[in-house]
Structure 1
C-alpha cells in the first residue's frame, strides 16, 4: 500500500497518476482501496489520503515498465524482448 496526498481540485487526475505510476509491470492491477480526507491542513489545500494496492499476476507479469512513457502510453506493438 502506498499513501499519497492531493488537494481536492486535482483529486481525480491525481488518482489516475498514482494508479499509472504505481505499476512496475504492464499487467499490474492497481486499485484504490481507501480514500479519505486528512485532518491536517496545509496552507489553503484540503489534503486527502489515497491508499492503493498493487496486485501482480506472477504467472503473467508482462513487460517491465522501465520508463515513465511506458507507464503512461504503454508499449509500442513492434517492441520485442
Structure 2
C-alpha cells in the first residue's frame, strides 16, 4: 500500500473525521425530524427543517444521508377501501 507513514498513524490516532462526526449529528437530527413528521417528509423538507434549527447543510448532503439510512418520503396516497 503506497501510504506515507505519518498519514497512516494519523488515521490510527483519529479514525473518524470531522465530516463523519457532522454526518452522524445531522443523521440523528434527520431521523428525529423524519419520525416526528410521520415518515412523510423528504430530503428537501428535511433540509429546510435543519436550516430552521440552525444547522448548516444543503439538500445534497441531506439526500445522501437519508439514502444511506434508507429513509424515504411517503409517495402517493391511497384511499381506504371503506372510504367510498
TM-score of the aligned structures, taking structure 1 as reference length: 0.30
The structure where helix makes up a greater share of residues is: 2
The structure whose RCO (Cα within 8 Å, separation 6+) is larger is 1
TM-score of the aligned structures, taking structure 2 as reference length: 0.29
